[in-house]
Structure 1
Amino acid sequence: MQNISVRALRPGRPLLLVVALTLVATACGGTDDTAGTGATTEDVSETAGDATTPAETGTGDATTTPDATDTPDVTDTPDATDTPDATATAGAGGDHKIGYISLGDSVPFVKLVSDGIREEADAAGVDLVFCDSEIDAAKALSCAQNLAVQGVEGVLNFQVFQDSSPEICSAYGGVPTIAIDITQPPCETVFMGANNREAGRMAGAALGEFVSNEFDCDYTAYVSLESTASGAANTDRMGGYREGFEEHCPITNERVLDGADRTDPALEQMSDLLTALPGDRIIVVAINEDGILGAIGAARTLGRENDLYYSGQGTDPSVWCEIKNNPNYIVSTAYFPERYGSIVVPAMMEILDGGTVEGPLYTEHELITAENIEEFYEVTNCG
């Protein structure tokens, strides 16, 4: 494990809380994706059928169905239907056509993944058929059906509902599949994403070391914000957190909040928990940064800012200011989602060209703290 010092925190140190709670919803397609390439864009909609959508479920990095209408946000189609649109972007070469099912571009982490995939596909000169599942099982199935209609040769699959993967794989014909962050049996050719067990362990160990050094392992509760619908990703990542933490301190008074991987559900569940949980040394870990932002919002609303100590996963831009300025945000594991495209697109092209890609394909992980965040990111506009 990399040696990164975790800052010594003195209880009672004033907080500089700048919480970025606004999620920016993004579109399924748009003219900017093809500017300067001579590319064309085509929108195709199909009826989703009778697939159901679980309520408040999880993702490898995001889950619960957002509070939104049934209409996807499509920038170049004002009168969008209830069905997500598959947007085809033709690259300069157009030798292959690949599909991409986004988990939900309203999630900051996912938006970075999607943007990187678009950029890499355009640079590689391939046709990319993009469809946003909007964290919805029915829409993920509809996306798969649309990809089949479009005749894609391979799929980059970032849909979150692992239990739905057999049906979704079948809907797009079981073509070669690169699973992103959530495993996709039975059609998964190779997995690309986080080394979930190690990513959790890294942050858990750093957080446990902090609790040992500062509190001699004397703390109120260990709260885990999880997303069991994402299957193995949740099990491995949050299990890794526990393993790493227990390298330094035992788990005390554990509380698991499921479906708390979106900001609003996490805020609601943490608010309910905090009203019944006194104490000023509450450890909060989360499967992603959205859950952490919800926990921070709950603590601030209840005047409990000094009582909670946080560690999240992903280090997406929504949490940079918290890491830099909030002394109670201890450590995050970075995933660099903006780099995913540079891994999955070349890998898919190799597969479609008859090559073999050995997996899993893991993203790089780094521990990020207030001390080193600006070595990796330019943190500005924190107020």
Structure 2
Amino acid sequence: MKATRRLMALAFALALVASACAGDDGGDAAAQQAVAAAEAEAAAAMADAEAARQEAAQAAADVEAAQAEAEAATAEAEAARAEAAAAASGDAESQAAADAARAEAEAARADADAAATAAQRAEDEAEAARAAAAAAERPAYKVGYISLGDSVPFVKLVSDGIKEEAERQGVELLFCDSEIDAGKALECAQNFTVQGVEGVLNFQVFEDSSPEICAALPEGIPVIAIDIVQPPCELSFMGANNRYAGYLGGSALGAYFKENFDCDYTAYISLESTAAGSANTDRMGGYRDGFTEHCPIVNERIMDGADRTDPALEQLTDLLPALPGERIAVVAINEDGIIGAIAAARTLGRDSDLYYSGQGTDPSIWCEVQNNPNYIASVAYFPERYGTILLPAIINAIEGNSIAGQLFTPHQQITSENIGDYYEVSGC
């Protein structure tokens, strides 16, 4: 129905064009406006039609997946009955029938899994089509994004996800990399003001610089902070539930030390970044909360500025010779610090002495989580999904709608046992 109305609008606009073409210069301007409006309506109609097509495909895929699942369940039940009969009779014929039934069940399960994958793909495509249709309905908002620093693997995943979602939502995204530099973050804000942004996604790391950066932005526009709070202009915070994320990592490491060492260990090393302000305080405090549920903290050493690989490597290389012992707990605000700690331990021949828990689970750490027995647990933030939360929120805010003050990413404890359930680890 909506598409039909748009086609009628297109026909009306073309009639205006024909009428205006016979007129004066004012008519020419009107004709150009009518053509632009008609093109926009046509694009919107096409987007609506594509969304409807994808939704129909999704519905069909869901039906097929449900049917395949039912067939797999039936085949598995039949295989179980055949196996029970074979076990009871003990004859070769019954066993052959059971083996054949099990093979059919496995084939049916494979078909069901394939159908479920196809249904998920259809759902993703339908969601993308719906987003495109919604984008065609509204103006192309101009949004600025200050990256913390795309040289950091976790941040690069966030940035790529934001760019992808901005394109999907029809948003004009102005990207500016602060390169972990407060002065460059301020320049980003100043440039955004000149460029007339209507909203800002702010992922700069220096919390104490946020008042100056806020003052440089256009007055009154919505600002969503990413992972680090940005007073006083922050409308909403999107990112980690820092206290909870830290708790998950600390609890896993503490439980391991309790079960394996009865809490008998040498030291607790905390790799931190006080420049991140409350994000650091909450996350590393959460680590302590989780760890002390199982073991007391012993001989704590706090390494500030160890949120980057090279500083962490340098600080741990200096510290470890003064910490003999085979059981040292190492926790970190991110994976970069853990990578530096692992490198220091290997350089000093202390691979087996340190036990790790990091935050973020970005690809740089996947192989360690999967294969290093001393990497006990990471906590996933799914940075690649940040954009799917941020872009709809900033669009709503620009349009004057209320948004939640806190938009948390989901967290998941990741270990060698379950990392394959969330990521495709390769190249190790």
Q: Structure 2 length as normaliser, TM-score?
A: 0.67
Distance in 2 of aligned mates of 1:305 and 1:93: 56
Distance in 2 of aligned mates of 1:350 and 1:242: 37
Ranges of 4+ aligned residues in structure 1 off by more than 4 Å = 91-94
Change (3 A) 1:94 1:141: same
CA contact (8 A) 1:340 1:363 kept: yes
Report what 2:321 is aligned to. 275
- The CA deviation string for residues 11-42 of structure 1, in whole angstroms up to 9 with x for no partner, is xxxxxxxxxxxxxxxxxxxxxxxxxxxxxxxx
Query: How far is 1:92 from its partner?
Result: 11
Report what 1:30 is aligned to. none
Distance in 2 of aligned mates of 1:361 and 1:139: 26
1:329 and 2:401 aligned: no
Aligned counterparts, 1:224-303, within 5 A: 224-303=270-349
Secondary structure of the structure 1 residue equivalent to 2:263: coil
Secondary structure of the structure 2 residue equivalent to 1:306: coil
Greater Cα radius of gyration, structure 1 or 2:
2
Report what 1:104 is aligned to. 149
Secondary structure of the structure 2 residue equivalent to 1:179: strand
CA contact (8 A) 1:109 1:316 kept: yes
Q: Going by fraction, where is helix more abundant, 1 or 2? A: 2
Name structure 2 gaps, 5 residues minimum.
1-135
Distance in 1 of aligned mates of 2:137 and 2:183: 33
Distance in 2 of aligned mates of 1:327 and 1:126: 44
- State the AA in 2 paired with 1:379: V
Query: How far is 1:154 from its partner?
Result: 0.7
Report what 1:171 is aligned to. 216
Query: How far is 1:359 from its partner?
Result: 2.4
Return the match for 1:161 from 206, 229, 233: 206
Q: What percent of counterpart residues are identical?
A: 71
Distance in 1 of aligned mates of 2:138 and 2:191: 23
Query: How far is 1:95 from its partner?
Result: 2.3
- The CA deviation string for residues 316-340 of structure 1, in whole angstroms up to 9 with x for no partner, is 0000000000000000100000000
RMSD: 1.3
Distance in 1 of aligned mates of 2:137 and 2:212: 33
Distance in 2 of aligned mates of 1:106 and 1:206: 29
Q: Structure 1 length as normaliser, TM-score?
A: 0.75
Report what 1:364 is aligned to. 410
- State the AA in 2 paired with 1:338: E
Change (3 A) 1:176 1:278: same
Report what 2:140 is aligned to. 95
- State the AA in 2 paired with 1:95: A
Aligned counterparts, 1:39-50, within 5 A: none
- State the AA in 2 paired with 1:231: G
Aligned counterparts, 1:191-230, within 5 A: 191-230=237-276
Secondary structure of the structure 2 residue equivalent to 1:225: strand
Distance in 2 of aligned mates of 1:140 and 1:317: 26
1:352 and 2:359 aligned: no
Report what 2:170 is aligned to. 125
Distance in 2 of aligned mates of 1:374 and 1:235: 31
